[in-house]
Structure 1
Amino acid sequence: MTIVFTICSINYLAQARTLGDSLKATNPDILFFIGLVDILEGVSFDDAFMPEYPMIEIDKIGIDGFDEMAARYDITELNTAVKPFYFTYFFKNYPKADNVIYFDPDIIIFKPLTQLLHSLQLHQAVLTPHINTPIEDRLTPNELHHLNTGIYNLGFAAFRRSPENLEYIQWWEEKLRYECMIDLCNGLFTDQNWMNFLPVFVKNVHIERNPGYNAAYWNLHERQFSIVDKNYFVNGDNPLIFFHYSGYDPAKPDILSKYQDRFELAERPDLTELFALYKNNLIKNGNAYYRKFPCFYIKPARVVRYLRVRKWLKKPFNYVIDQLETI
């Protein structure tokens, strides 16, 4: 059995539904779950916007000290900090699951994951690097940015069940309890830099360089896309397996990604249909509707700001609150 999951708050359910729809169309035998970093109690969705995919609320998976994590992190950091805990949850509660795979919600899967599942038979885990080849300019992002934010993109990670992987995931959990911040000066960028250690700590990790995997704004300098008989290809005859639409907003359809300044969509006609497809799916799946739901776990900026002070990070949570009351 293979499980695929994503993680989001309610405001990103259009992306999660789009991912689920693409997985259902291409890989109907794979179980798909939405890890919901939010609370459904008291929330009522219109019938047209009730997700058909099972949602597992974060407070249901048994993270010790989760309230402290939720107070410490902003919503982006919190959604990434819980990732290894969901891996643990699925391996523990689904003993027949041989593989557990994570995809960011802003991804579309275009093909069966046959090659990926074969790789997991041969290897302990599979990661994709941000880039396979050097970048020839100083635009954003370049190699320096990737050194700061991680060699591997954690919008995707695949693990096979094994004692070594379960041990690594437990180590990853403990790191992300306190150190899943966007704090580049201290070497932190959410969960990603910690994954640099996986090929060191766990033997036989596969670094997937197939250009059809995890195509996104950060590697477009090395990838060109084409369509043949309604099938998408990369760099000639490589099938596009999944595309990662990180930083795309259907309300601003001409902007490829808010995180980059290298390419304009108007200058990349090979991307026109890929992005039109994504925009239409997000609109259909309720992007504007879900955006109106605030996340239950968003804390006041004042609390988050003071909980970032590193000398307090490993103090008991009540100690930090007591200090805030005196400020």
Structure 2
Amino acid sequence: NEELLELKRTRDQSEYCWTVKPVFLEFVLDGHPELERVTYIDADLFFFADPRAIFDNQPDCSVLLSRGDIVIPSFGKQEIDMLQRLLGRYNSGFLSFKTDSAGTDCLRWWKERCLEECKNAPGEGKFGDQGYLDYMSGLFPNVCDITTPGVNIGHWNYGRHTFSWKDGRLVLEDGSPLIFYHFSGYRIVTAGDIRQIHETDRTDLPFVHQLYQDILKRVIGTVSAVCPEFSGFASEDDNK
């Protein structure tokens, strides 16, 4: 794909990684016109339940966006409001586009904006590919906030939830299943050295983090057994 090659030549690593999301989604749709929907997920999402409910609950939405509301109990309202303005209302770790006119037009618009400029400059109202999501509902029809509980919970909002086991599954305070958690900010240096680089001073992390770390160790063991030369780990000083 020429657009991907041009991005790789002209942009630095972080900008390229951000911008590739809409470019890749459009590339998939161009190659598979029979698809009804295309969904992007970050690599650090972990699914604890079937995500099918997300789409079944809102079948008519052309675009589905994950709210990124910040809920940090130790922060005051002024701090929260400032962060929300800088980082935007949505998190781009999970979003979905139908292949109707509204969905594909919105995806194309997002791609074009990211190709024009995709940088980490919250002071300018830009935060990678994420800042543009705030404008979608004002420009295109059928752009919806995901209403299904238990979706895209992460370090920015877990403070509003409690987690527990019920009938062999993870649930939230209202009994809804935890569909997936966004484990943003992990760096895997070795199987025995898995670091969380965001908010390292917080002591109230939910127990799902320990579950995730245990699962990562098992996955690394499986990969190493199949591919002993695997070395795709973070470096010691990788804290970005």
AA matched with 1:258 = I
Deviations 1:100-138 (CA, angstroms, capped at 9, x unpaired) = 010000111122222122145221111111127685624
The structure-2 alpha-carbon separation of the partners of 1:134 and 1:106, relative to structure 1 and needing over 3 Å to count, comes to closer
Structure 1 distance, partners of 2:85, 2:108, is 24
Structure 1 segments (4+ residues) deviating >6 Å: none
Structure 2 distance, partners of 1:286, 1:234, is 32
The structure-2 alpha-carbon separation of the partners of 1:205 and 1:269, relative to structure 1 and needing over 3 Å to count, comes to closer
Structure 2 distance, partners of 1:240, 1:192, is 23
2:221 to 284, 302, 306: 284
Larger radius of gyration: 1
State how many pairs are aligned.
226
Question: In angstroms, what is the RMSD of aligned CA positions?
Answer: 2.8
The corresponding residue for 2:39 is: 101
Aligned residue runs from structure 1 range 311-326, under 5 A: none
Compare the two structures and name the one with the higher strand fraction.
Answer: 2
CA drift at 1:172: 1.5
The structure-2 alpha-carbon separation of the partners of 1:241 and 1:92, relative to structure 1 and needing over 3 Å to count, comes to same
AA matched with 2:158 = L
The corresponding residue for 1:121 is: 59
The corresponding residue for 1:75 is: 13
Q: Are 1:144 and 2:82 counterparts?
A: yes
Aligned residue runs from structure 1 range 1-327, under 5 A: 61-63=1-3, 66-67=5-6, 69-131=7-69, 137-138=75-76, 142-251=80-189, 252-253=193-194, 257-260=196-199, 263-264=202-203, 267-268=204-205, 270-284=207-221, 286=223, 289-291=231-233
Higher RCO (CA 8 Å, separation ≥ 6 residues): 1
Q: Give the secondary structure class of the aligned counterpart of 1:154.
A: strand
The structure-2 alpha-carbon separation of the partners of 1:209 and 1:218, relative to structure 1 and needing over 3 Å to count, comes to farther
CA drift at 1:159: 0.9
The structure-2 alpha-carbon separation of the partners of 1:176 and 1:87, relative to structure 1 and needing over 3 Å to count, comes to same
The corresponding residue for 1:58 is: none
What are structure 1's unaligned runs of at least 5 residues?
1-60, 294-327
The structure-2 alpha-carbon separation of the partners of 1:148 and 1:182, relative to structure 1 and needing over 3 Å to count, comes to same
Structure 2 distance, partners of 1:173, 1:196, is 14
The structure-2 alpha-carbon separation of the partners of 1:129 and 1:292, relative to structure 1 and needing over 3 Å to count, comes to closer
Aligned-residue identity in percent: 21
The structure-2 alpha-carbon separation of the partners of 1:182 and 1:154, relative to structure 1 and needing over 3 Å to count, comes to same
TM-score, normalized by length of structure 2? 0.81
